[in-house]
Structures are given as structure tokens and as C-alpha cells.
Amino acid sequence: MDFGPFLLLALMEGLVTAAVLALTASGLSLVFGIMRVVNVAHGAFFMLGAVLAWFVAEWLPGPPALAFAAALVFCPLVVGAIAAIADMAVLKRLNYEPEATIVATIGLLYILEQAALSLFGPDARPVEAPFSFRLQLPWFGYSGYKLAVVVAAALVLLGVWLILKHSRAGLLMRATQEDRDTARAFGINVDRVYAGVFAMGAGLAAIAAVLIVPISQAHYLMGGDPLLLSFIVVIIGGLGSLRGTLVAALLIGLSDGVISTFFAPTLAKIIATLVVALVLVFRPQGLFGKRAA
């Protein structure tokens, strides 16, 4: 294949990675931005979404598209509910102290992974894609499902943006993010906002997982890479900045696609880590983050 088409293929692969990464990382960024909680269990919520999608696909008879659509609704709701319970049962009791919540979410990560191992088993299991359409370009054919993942991720992110900027719930979240004590002084139930945000963050990871699982299979340890890449993205983009998260996800996703295709996936991870190091040294607040006062 010539260089041009090869580059196009690499960019398309990178775009799929970027789309899923943007969804996953926006959940992490949202939780940190509003709650100031570094959620180490975020990758486990991602994994849970994929594993639940497999269960739904197994148990629901009918065409794969039906099971997939059901998983796309059911998994984020269940994962979000689990996250909300974890928030109320654990994080709230720790008064959202930064160090304590890091330790607590590490514990949550292990609990969720071990629960998945017990119920789901150690094997990677495939989930059938809802459709098998192939886009035929002059140089190569490309999975229509992968392009659908990009469109779906973009629509979900647009929805998140609309909720944050133009809904009552979003206004409550932004006010709580600004100053939780003052928010309480104006009748905002901050505990409920936090539970909702933690659920929303986990739900976004679950949606990303359901979208990607027909491409990458479900496995109880699959949350590690998305967690690491999400941290890379939110550090580069600026913790708590949704815009920064999107830009950094595109940057990391596209570079990952291109470098993995032309060189090696390991090199892509090395370069991403190097970029994080440079950002931490020269712009610790991230590309779009606010400098601490």
C-alpha cells in the first residue's frame, strides 16, 4: 500500500482510539473537575461495562443489534448505579479527602476486578458487533462499525456538553465545582450532585467500553490501559477541563494510531508518556487547565 492510503488508515484507526479515549477520559475528568476525586477505579468501571455487555449479549435472544442496543442502555445505568452506591457508601464517608479517596478507589478497583473474575472468569470473550457493514475505499476496505463508534462517541460527548452547559443538572454541577460550601448555602444538595457526577463519570466509561467491546473483547483486566491513557489525556488536557480532554484525546489517539501503524504500539505509549512528562515539567496545569492560585 502507498504511503498516503497507509497514513489514512492509520489516522482512521487513531480516530477510533481517540473517540473511545475521549469518552473514557471525559468521565475521569468530570469526576476530578467537580469532585476533586482521582478515581483509580475508573478503569474498573470501563471493564465492568464491557463485561456486562457480554452478559447482555449472551442472555438476550435475537439479533446482535438488539442485544447491543440493550447493552448500550443497560450497562451505563448499572455501572452508574454501582458508582453512585460506592460514592455514598465510601467516598462521602471519607468527606472526599483527596488522599483517602485515592486509596479507597484503589480498593474499589480490586473489588470490582475480583468480582468480575469470579462471575465472568479469566478468559477474554467476544461480543458480536451490531452490524457488519464495510466501507470500501479505493485503496482498502474499512469497518463501518468502527466509524459508527466515532459518530456515537461524538454524539455522547455532545450530549455531555449540552447537559453541562444548558441543563439545570449541569448548572448544579458547575456551581458545586466552583465552591461546594457556597453551593450548599444556596440549597444545593452537594451529596446528591457528587453521587450523580460519580455515576455519570462511570457511565461514560461504561458507554466507551460497550462501544469498543465488539472490537477488542471483554476481559476482567481490560481496564488498565484505558485508565492509564485516560490519566495521560486528562493530565495533558488539564484536569477538569472537558475541552482539554477532547483535544488531548484526539492528540493521543491519532498519534497512537499513526505511530502504532508505522512503527510499534509500544513506541506510541512511550511517546505519550514522554509528552505527559514534558507537560508536567513545562505546563503542570495541562494545556487547558487553570493554574492553581
Positions that interact with other proteins (CB under 8 A) = 168, 171-172, 174-175, 177-179, 181-190
Q: How far is the CB of 239 from other proteins (least distance, A)?
A: 15
Question: Which CB atom, from 61 or from 168, has the smaller least distance to other proteins?
Answer: 168
Q: How far apart are CA 226 and CA 205, in angstroms?
A: 9
Q: How far is the CB of 175 from other proteins (least distance, A)?
A: 5
SS3 188: coil
Q: How far is the CB of 160 from other proteins (least distance, A)?
A: 17
The total of other beta-carbon atoms located within 10 Å of residue 119's CB is: 10
Q: How far is the CB of 83 from other proteins (least distance, A)?
A: 22
C-alpha cell of residue 182: 457556597
Q: How far is the CB of 286 from other proteins (least distance, A)?
A: 17
Q: How far is the CB of 70 from other proteins (least distance, A)?
A: 36
C-alpha cell of residue 69: 442496543
Question: Which CB atom, from 11 or from 175, has the smaller least distance to other proteins?
Answer: 175
Question: Which CB atom, from 114 or from 189, has the smaller least distance to other proteins?
Answer: 189
Question: Which CB atom, from 61 or from 187, has the smaller least distance to other proteins?
Answer: 187
Q: How far apart are CA 36 and CA 28, in angstroms?
A: 10
Question: Which CB atom, from 134 or from 184, has the smaller least distance to other proteins?
Answer: 184
Q: How far apart are CA 187 and CA 210, in angstroms?
A: 37
Q: How far is the CB of 168 from other proteins (least distance, A)?
A: 8
Question: Which CB atom, from 189 or from 273, has the smaller least distance to other proteins?
Answer: 189
Question: Which CB atom, from 201 or from 240, has the smaller least distance to other proteins?
Answer: 240
CA distances from 127 to 4, 65, 100, 118, 186 (A): 33, 11, 37, 19, 47
C-alpha cell of residue 200: 455519570
Q: How far apart are CA 208 and CA 219, in angstroms?
A: 15
Task: Give the dihedral of Cα atoms 231, 235, 239, 244; nearest 10 deg.
Answer: -110
Which phi and psi angles does 289 have, rounded to 5°?
-80, 160
Q: How far apart are CA 204 and CA 192, in angstroms?
A: 18
Q: Could you tell me if 9 and 140 are in contact, meaning their C-beta atoms sit under 8 angstroms apart? A: yes
